Amino acid sequence: MSADHPTLPPVRLRADAELARDALAAPLLADAARLARWAGPDTRVDAGGELVDEQLPAAAEALGLPADEEGELRAGDAWRLAVDTGLVEIEDGESAGEAGAEDVPGRAAPGENLALLTGGSPRDVLALWLDGFDTVFADAVAPVLDDLDQLLDEDGEIDVDALDWDPEAEAEFLEGVLGNLYLLTVSEGGAGEGPVPLPALAASMVVPDDMGEPTDDVLEQVSDAMMRLDEQFRLLEPIGLVEYQPLDEALMVEEGEESAVSVDDEDVTRYGMVRLTPLGLYGVRARMLEAGVGAPAVGDLADKGADALLDGIAGYPEAAAREETAAWLAGRDALGAARELLHAARGSDPGSPLRRLHCQQTLSLVGPEAEPAVREVLDDAELGGLARVWLAERGAADVPAPPESMIFWLAIDTIAAQLDAEGDLEELQELIEGLTGRHGGFFEAAWRVEHPATAEVLEAMGRLHRDKGTAKEARKAAFKARSRGGV
């Protein structure tokens, strides 16, 4: 019965204009824009496009920062982002080719993309921000060079083999962490807009799903992952991707040392707390889509056909499905929308029962203008039942009584849809028990229903009905249905 559902719940994104404002306010991008405006004829860069050391104090001053080591580091980070996103254009310098010769510095000037920050559309700004996110992501998965001297080979170049660094594995790990954080944010009953403890996020990547009590070795891996993630989230926060409360430095004392700060072991926030910002949700989703991951957003289906709507919301939580259908209906006239929905609800494929359920739910949002379209399908074997339900709920007159075959077909179709929707088990049990209680001889009629899911539905009723005698009747009826169908 089941159709393929999206692997991720739909996300509610803010409007592009709002996200663009958030992007412009991200500290790192704002600093990069300031330096791009500051760059001029006297700005000097080295052969790699980095500011020469002599320029860093002035760059820090341009950002309103002290010309100390921290200020110069921040200015250097902002400059690299400006270069990578095209906010600055570089005329490369040249390295000295011979001993005793001097490097020839390059020049820098504001780039073409700088104008996009003030004169471009919100999409232009967000595209530029995504380029910046890519740059910062690459920095976050780069190796940590604690002792550079030990990594240099005889020619003074970094010995990559000595780094013990797998760039693909590092990138895959951080992508996985951001994916888990995204899932926790968009899932019903997940973190929502609240922060996620860093240990839980690290454990989600390290601890096997089938492991009960983690071993000491696994706990050590979680601890190592937390330390790495602490560094990475500190890098990702200035681009506006996350809000991050760092790991308490009092926890980072070496074994055998005592912290001078008193710590509370009950306070989980000391171990780091992180949440995706609305801009971060947009950015992580963009990376997922680029990687071919299905990551729907509420509103994606508003300009699609009814078939895409009914199939698309199959895996949506109830509130998101209702929001999506309301957006779809908003741009259409009621009568035309109803006809399109009813046409899309037809079919005998495995996903058709759930499509009809969603059709019925969507039609409940449509006004009385849809009545002519609904009456047109009263004699349709697949749609006549739901049409009568819609008319009855609105107190319409002259609604013909359904034939018995349609009543039982609708019952099978409704249960098939509910099974596919994987909703509340207790509600489904009440539906099943209500149907069998209202209709004497239900199973004697049900096994004869010409519906592709009849046997599966009856088997499910046998599993779910809480009365043992009735459950046995359901299983017998399922056997008859399979025998009749030659299955």
* Secondary element (H or E) of residue 90: strand 88-91
Lowest-pLDDT range, 177-181, 208-212, 320-324, 376-380? 208-212
- Band of the pLDDT at 149, cuts 50, 70, 90? low
- Band of the pLDDT at 260, cuts 50, 70, 90? very low
**d(Cα 312, Cα 17) in Å, to the nearest integer?**
26
Q: What is the pLDDT of residue 486?
A: 53
Between these two residues, 93 and 50, which has the higher pLDDT value? 50
Angle subtended at Cα 292 by Cα 289 and Cα 297, rounded to the nearest 5 degrees: 35
Each residue's pLDDT tens digit, 438-482 = 877 899 999 999 999 999 999 999 999 999 999 999 999 999 999
Q: What is the pLDDT of residue 269?
A: 83
Mean pLDDT of the chain: 87
What is the mean predicted confidence (pLDDT) over 370-378? 96
What is the mean predicted confidence (pLDDT) over 61-75? 93
Looking up tokens 């010309």, which residue turns up?
Answer: 67
- Band of the pLDDT at 252, cuts 50, 70, 90? low
- Band of the pLDDT at 151, cuts 50, 70, 90? low
What is the mean predicted confidence (pLDDT) over 259-269? 55
**d(Cα 279, Cα 59) in Å, to the nearest integer?**
27
Q: What is the pLDDT of residue 178?
A: 96
The answer to whether 31 and 318 are in contact (CB under 8 A) is no
pLDDT(348) > 60: yes
Q: Strands, DSSP E only, in 94-159?
A: 106-110
Lowest-pLDDT range, 279-288, 344-353, 385-394, 478-487? 478-487
Q: Which two tokens stand for residue 25?
A: 């306010």
Q: Which two tokens stand for residue 56?
A: 């860093």
Encoded amino acid at 396, one letter: A
Closest to 452 measured CA to CA, from 356, 318, 317? 356
How many CB atoms lie under 10 A from the CB of residue 398? 6
**d(Cα 475, Cα 250) in Å, to the nearest integer?**
63
pLDDT(95) > 70: no
HSE of 183 in the Cβ direction (CA atoms, 13 Å)? 14
Lowest-pLDDT range, 32-36, 51-55, 155-159, 312-316? 155-159
Residues forming beta bridges with residue 109, ordered by sequence position: 89
Q: What is the pLDDT of residue 209?
A: 73
pLDDT(352) > 90: yes
What is the mean predicted confidence (pLDDT) over 368-386? 95
Residue positions counted in the chain: 487
Between these two residues, 409 and 41, which has the higher pLDDT value? 409
pLDDT(145) > 70: no
473-482 core/surface letters (b: 16 or more CB in 10 A; e: else): bbbebbebbb
What is the mean predicted confidence (pLDDT) over 290-313? 93
pLDDT(160) > 70: no
**d(Cα 89, Cα 108) in Å, to the nearest integer?**
6
The answer to whether 56 and 4 are in contact (CB under 8 A) is no
pLDDT(2) > 70: no
* Secondary element (H or E) of residue 345: helix 334-345
**d(Cα 453, Cα 409) in Å, to the nearest integer?**
10
- Band of the pLDDT at 268, cuts 50, 70, 90? confident
Residues forming beta bridges with residue 243, ordered by sequence position: 275
pLDDT(255) > 70: no
pLDDT(262) > 50: no
**d(Cα 337, Cα 190) in Å, to the nearest integer?**
34
The answer to whether 301 and 312 are in contact (CB under 8 A) is yes
The answer to whether 49 and 90 are in contact (CB under 8 A) is yes
Please tell me whether the overall predicted TM-score, pTM, comes out greater than 0.75 for this model: yes
Q: What is the pLDDT of residue 263?
A: 43
pLDDT(237) > 70: yes
Give the CA distances from residue 185 to residues 190, 193, 280, 285, in Å, rounded to whole numbers and listed in that order: 6, 6, 11, 12
Lowest-pLDDT range, 97-101, 383-387, 424-428? 97-101
- Band of the pLDDT at 379, cuts 50, 70, 90? very high
**d(Cα 403, Cα 222) in Å, to the nearest integer?**
63
What is the mean predicted confidence (pLDDT) over 257-264? 43
Q: What is the pLDDT of residue 409?
A: 95
Q: What is the pLDDT of residue 406?
A: 94
pLDDT(106) > 50: yes
What is the mean predicted confidence (pLDDT) over 327-341? 94
| Percent of the chain whose pLDDT exceeds 70 | 87
- Band of the pLDDT at 317, cuts 50, 70, 90? confident
Q: Which two tokens stand for residue 329?
A: 């209906």
Q: Which two tokens stand for residue 359?
A: 């059709």
Q: Which two tokens stand for residue 466?
A: 């809480």
Q: Can you say how many angstroms the Cα of residue 241 is from the centroid of all Cα atoms in its chain?
A: 14
Pairing mode, strands 196-197 and 273-276: antiparallel
Calculate helix-pair angle for 404-421, 384-393, nearest 10 degrees: 90
Q: Specify which of 148-157, 225-234, 424-433 reaches the highest per-range mean pLDDT.
A: 225-234
Between these two residues, 2 and 379, which has the higher pLDDT value? 379
